[in-house]
Structure formats: structure tokens, C-alpha cells
């Protein structure tokens, strides 16, 4: 059973946030290019890509596995945003805005995980 990832609100949110995060990290110091900047970008891209991959899985168990990975990646981005703010490599206002958005995404993914858990 193939699912349409475009129908998932969490996919659309995470896809928009990847673009937002990439744009917001363009001005990072050069010494962070392979540190926090790269790690945040990888984690951010991991969220929608795992949702896409999960949607192609036949079983609910496999689908849930990829949703859980996406949840972990979104949580990782939240932490890395907080870290960048505390290290002062990202403006507080930008970091807080993204943290709020990623926290909402984490809650949405958790709701999806809980709904799928109830089915299986």
C-alpha cells in the first residue's frame, strides 16, 4: 500500500522548514560550515526524506519506523537550533522562530506516531 506523502501536513511543514533552515544558515561563520551548519542541514533534510520513504513502505510497522526516524531528526534540529543560539552563531530571533516551528513539527510527528501505534 503506497501512501501519498504530499497529503501529510507534517511532510509539507518539514519541506518548508528545510528551505527556511537552509536560508537561515547561509550566513554561518566559515568554521561552522562542517560543524553545526552541516549537521542541522542533514537532520532537517532527513525529516521529509524519511517521510517520503516511509510512505512507500507496505506495512504499517515499516511506515511507523520511518516516521519515528523523522521524529528523531526533527528533535535533533530543535537541539541544534538551541545550541547555535547559545553559541551565538545564529541570531536569537531567527533561532527562536525556527525552534518554535520545529517544536510544532515534533508534536505533529508524535501525534502521527501515536495514531499509527493505536492501529498496530
Give the model confidence (pLDDT) of 76-117 as tens digits. Answer: 999 999 998 998 888 899 999 999 999 999 999 999 999 998
- For 66-84, b/e burial (b = at least 16 CB within 10 A) is bbbbbbebbbbbbebbbeb
DSSP SS3 for 47: helix
Q: Could you give the percent of the chain with pLDDT greater than 90?
A: 76
What CATH number did the domain enclosing 33 receive?
1.20.1440.60
Q: What is the DSSP string of 8-29?
A: -HHHHHHHHHHHHHHHHTTT--
Question: How many domains is the chain partitioned into structurally?
Answer: 1
Of 106, 83, 89, residue with least CA distance to 25: 89
Which residue range forms the structural domain that includes residue 76?
5-119
The three cell numbers of residue 50 are: 524519511
Label residue 48 exposed, middle or buried (CB < 10 Å: 0-12, 13-18, 19+): buried
Q: What are phi and psi of 35, to 5 degrees?
A: -110, -115
pLDDT of 1 higher than 70: no
Amino acid at each position: 500500500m503506497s501512501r501519498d506523502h504530499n497529503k501529510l501536513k507534517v511532510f509539507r511543514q518539514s519541506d518548508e522548514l528545510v528551505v527556511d533552515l537552509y536560508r537561515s544558515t547561509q550566513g554561518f561563520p566559515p568554521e561552522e560550515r562542517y560543524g553545526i551548519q552541516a549537521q542541522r542541514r542533514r537532520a532537517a533534510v532527513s525529516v521529509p526524506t524519511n517521510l517520503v520513504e516511509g510512505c512507500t513502505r507496505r506495512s504499517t510497522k515499516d511506515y511507523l519506523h520511518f516516521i519515528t526516524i523523522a521524529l528523531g531528526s526533527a528533535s535533533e534540529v530543535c537541539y541544534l537550533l538551541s545550541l547555535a543560539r547559545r553559541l551565538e552563531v545564529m541570531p536569537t530571533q531567527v533561532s527562536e522562530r525556527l525552534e518554535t516551528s520545529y517544536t510544532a513539527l515534533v508534536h505533529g510527528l508524535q501525534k502521527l506516531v501515536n495514531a499509527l501505534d493505536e492501529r498496530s
